[in-house]
Amino acid sequence: MIWLIALSASSVQLFIGRAVTNGTNTKPICREDWEDEKSRQIYTFFVLLTTYVVPLTILTATYGMVGVKLWQRTTPGNADQARDMQQLRSKRKVIKMLVVIVALFAICWLPLHLFMIVLDSVPSWTKKTELQPILNGIYYTVHWLAMSNSCVNPIVYSFLNDSFRADLKRLVRNWCNCFKGRRDGEYARTLVRDYSRSDRASLKGCDTNRRLLSSRNQHEDGGELGQVVIALRNVGERQRDSDLNRL
């Protein structure tokens, strides 16, 4: 039902939308082209009713009933002052969150509808070239404010809901740990690759190189840290053999 209403309200643009040029602007823009101002005002009132007044009324009524039901609910069992105070604080937080959500919906969408009503009340403003930059700036601002209502609810939940905030922190912490583990693994693989290249270049044809390769094959499944330790150990043995040869 909701999708049908939204489709019906938006389908009007298929019949009254026109690509026109405005003033010195050579690029065409899409604008509403009404045969008379009365039809335009009726459509604006219809959009206001279906996308603001009715949703706000339903939202207020349903959230109000949820708040009343939550406030009247009592905890079963014997009375416990500490537990009852905790439950009371939780109820207040939830009710506060519901009020904030309804208020944000009303605040975010009201400027856009008021702006469209004003334009319909004073249609001569849209025909003045000098007012176009100002009207466009106001329209983009109130339109952005209306669209931003879609992303404010998670912010409200994170600030006013302890369980949501705890889950969000846990999710971010796990993501950071995962990224850190991947970065450490790449660093360890880089060390092994660097040691492998230097050892193979300097120990080619030597017994030390054969010991290094043999040791790596034996510890192939020992993990990245074990490979780094083996590489460092064999480099030390190579340096020691070199010092003995000098003597």
What does the DSSP 8-state code read for residue 221? T
Q: 3-state SS of the chain: helix, strand, coil percent to 5? A: 80, 5, 15
Report the alpha-carbon distance of residue 203 to residue 211 in Å, rounded: 10
DSSP-derived letter for residue 247 is -
CA distance 157 to 96: 11
Q: Which amino acid is at 205?
A: G
Q: Are 93 and 160 in contact, with CB atoms under 8 Å apart?
A: yes
- Single pTM value for the model: 0.60
Q: In 3D, which of 182, 180, 191, 187 has the Cα closest to residue 229?
A: 191
d(CA 169, CA 158): 10
Residue 85 has a pLDDT of 80
Candidates 196, 211, 200, 198; CA nearest to 241 is 211
Q: Give the Cα separation of 133 and 125 in Å (integer).
A: 11
Q: Which domains does the chain have, with CATH numbers?
A: 2-160 (1.20.1070.10), 174-246 (no CATH)
pLDDT of residue 166: 81
* Residue-by-residue pLDDT tens, the chain, 247 positions: 777 877 877 788 788 888 777 656 677 777 777 777 888 888 888 889 988 999 999 999 999 999 888 888 777 767 667 777 877 788 888 888 899 999 999 999 999 999 999 988 887 887 777 788 888 899 999 999 999 998 888 788 777 777 777 887 888 888 887 776 666 555 555 555 554 555 555 545 445 545 544 554 444 444 554 555 555 556 555 555 554 444 4
- Listing DSSP states for 20-49 in one string gives E--TT--S-EEEE--SSHHHHHHHHHHHHI
Taking the CA atoms of residue 21, residue 24, residue 25 and residue 27 in that order, the dihedral angle to the nearest 10 degrees is 60
